[in-house]
Amino acid sequence: MIKRKITNKITSYLNKFPAVALLGPRQSGKTTLAKTFSTSYYDLEVEQEKLRLDVQWDRITQSDHCIILDEAQSYPEIFPRIRNAIDNQRNTMGRFMILGSVSPGLIIQVS
Nearest alpha-carbon partner for 18 in 84, 96, 76, 104: 96
pTM of the predicted protein model: 0.86
Q: How far apart are CA 109 and CA 104, in angstroms?
A: 9
Of residues 104 and 16, more confidently modeled: 16
50: exposed, middle or buried (C-beta count within 10 Å: 0-12, 13-18, 19+)?
Answer: middle
The predicted model gives 20-45 an average pLDDT of: 91
Determine the pLDDT at residue 26.
Answer: 81
Q: Quick count: other Cβ atoms within 10 Å of Cβ 110?
A: 15
Find the radius of gyration of the CA atoms of the chain.
13
Q: What is the pLDDT of residues 46-96, one digit of tens each?
A: 999 999 999 999 999 998 889 999 999 999 999 999 999 999 999 999 999
The phi and psi torsions of 68 (rounded to 5 degrees) equal -95, 120
Q: How far apart are CA 50 and CA 16, in angstroms?
A: 27
Determine the pLDDT at residue 16.
Answer: 97
Q: For the chain, which domains are there?
A: 7-110 (3.40.50.300)
Determine the pLDDT at residue 2.
Answer: 66
Do residues 70 and 43 make contact, with C-beta atoms less than 8 angstroms apart?
Answer: yes
- DSSP-derived secondary structure letter, 71: T
